[in-house]
Structure 1
Amino acid sequence: MKPYLVPAETVSFTEEIKKSRFITYLAHTEGIEAAKDYIQSIKAQYPDARHHCWAFVAGRPDDSQQLGFSDDGEPTGTAGKPIIAQLLGSNLGEVTCVIVRYFGGIKLGTGGLVKAYGNGAQQALKILPTQTKVPQKVFNLVCDYSLINGIEQLLVQVNGVILHSDYNETVSLQIAIPATLEQEANDKLRDISRGTLTLTSEPQ
């Protein structure tokens, strides 16, 4: 799970082509539900528009299970596909693009539509600020009370956090650490516990 780029903020780009107005929005959306919610929010913002075409990459850039797109009434393949092509080409993750179209009375033809929607996404991507996201991995730990201080110090060193804790006869912890630091954290954990503890992944 390598770090990847995500949108740092929401941007918009507006263009008029043969009296049709195309308004493009790009936003950071983590997960499919967040992407769908964002699409609905844009539809609510422009209820009188003829089309609200969209595409999203809801997870990592290489996670093909979290892709989606729609032509929303435009001829098949003329809107959603050119938008998703731009998103995939950008190598961004957790991004949703919605392009609102107000029809101006002049038909653009299929080639014109592909160009208009693809260009809207491309121009918005050019002005989009990005930031790097480091994926987190979740682990379970069961340890003695005597090791808690050492584990807390370890988490500070690797930018980890405790998500959940149960204090009974032993301590059960659910922790999250950057996936890129798993090996380092595991080595330190073995040192702290003299080889009795290792990181156990949460089942996916």
Structure 2
Amino acid sequence: MAYFIPQQKHLTRHEIKKSSFIGIAQHAANRDEAMRFLADVKQAYPDARHHCWAYLFGSPAMPTGIAMADDGEPSGTAGKPILNVLQHNQVGDVMLVVVRYFGGIKLGAGGLVRAYSASAQLTLESLPVVDQVVMEQLQVRSDFKHEQYLRHFIERHHGQLIATSYSHEVTLALALPAAAVAPLHALAGSMGFTVHTAK
């Protein structure tokens, strides 16, 4: 379930039949962040004819949220092509806005679909990205003798130790990359500690 996310705001420009298309992408993990970004873009380009957009949250393979808008373009000619590009790439948690300055020559429905698709594709292909590793929240209960080994395991697998509590045993609240969960369960079976998914 690992995927890429935008590393920073990114902008591309291209022109088709005198219309200028500006593609702008940025990381957004929820609708509030995406709508704030859209408001910023509208403020930056207040005289543009259209501010069309789409977002995709979570992994592109299994998104947790998607939406789009044509912003005055004929239905299905702008937002849907942008979203289609997002759904066929490896970037998640992304908001992509395509700003259009009309150049006086009508493109027709097919021309608009191609233009918005091309702008979105150009923007995503050149977008600086970083790995987004899906972390799972777990709770481990163990004898004290295993604590140092478990701490070492968490560190070695690029996990995070969130909290530790002590009673007759040690309880560790932690977050691990999804790929490290099965090895931890295998260790639990051989070493005699318990692993639970955190509520």
- TM > 0.5: yes
The amino acid across from 1:99 in the alignment is: V
Residue-by-residue CA offset, 1:4-63 (whole Å, 9 max, x unaligned): 233333321112233322110122323443333322322222223221111111111122
CA RMSD of aligned residues (A): 2.3
Between stretches 50-59 and 18-27, larger displacement belongs to 18-27
Taking the TM superposition and a 5 Å limit, the aligned residue runs for 1:93-108 are: 93-108=92-107
Cα distance, 1:130 vs. partner? 3.2
- Equivalent residue number for residue 10 of structure 2: 11
SS of aligned partner of 1:66: strand
Between stretches 166-175 and 47-56, larger displacement belongs to 166-175
SS of aligned partner of 1:125: helix
The amino acid across from 1:202 in the alignment is: A
Taking the TM superposition and a 5 Å limit, the aligned residue runs for 1:39-118 are: 39-118=38-117
Between stretches 142-151 and 2-11, larger displacement belongs to 142-151
How many aligned residue pairs are there? 199
- Equivalent residue number for residue 23 of structure 2: 24
- Partner Cα separation in structure 1 for residue 33 and residue 64 of structure 2: 15
SS of aligned partner of 1:199: strand
1:31 and 1:59 in contact (8 A); partners too:
no
Structure 2 residue 196 is the aligned partner of structure 1 residue 200:
yes
**Cα distance, 1:55–1:166 mapped onto 2, change above 3 Å:** same
Residue-by-residue CA offset, 1:165-192 (whole Å, 9 max, x unaligned): 445665543210010111112233445x
The amino acid across from 2:198 in the alignment is: E
- Partner Cα separation in structure 1 for residue 22 and residue 125 of structure 2: 15
1:26 and 1:98 in contact (8 A); partners too:
yes
- Partner Cα separation in structure 2 for residue 81 and residue 111 of structure 1: 13
TM-score (normalised: structure 2):
0.86
2:57 and 2:63 in contact (8 A); partners too:
no
Cα distance, 1:161 vs. partner? 0.6
- Partner Cα separation in structure 1 for residue 117 and residue 186 of structure 2: 47
Identity value in percent? 36
The amino acid across from 2:79 in the alignment is: G
TM-score (normalised: structure 1):
0.84
Say which structure is richer in strand.
2
The answer for unaligned runs of 5 or more in structure 2 is none
2:10 and 2:25 in contact (8 A); partners too:
yes
Runs of at least 4 residues of structure 1 off by over 6 A? none
The amino acid across from 2:159 in the alignment is: G
1:164 and 1:175 in contact (8 A); partners too:
yes
Between stretches 10-19 and 74-83, larger displacement belongs to 10-19
Residue-by-residue CA offset, 1:52-96 (whole Å, 9 max, x unaligned): 111111111122441111111211101001111111122322222
The amino acid across from 1:5 in the alignment is: F
- Partner Cα separation in structure 1 for residue 60 and residue 181 of structure 2: 21
The amino acid across from 2:150 in the alignment is: I
The amino acid across from 1:47 in the alignment is: P
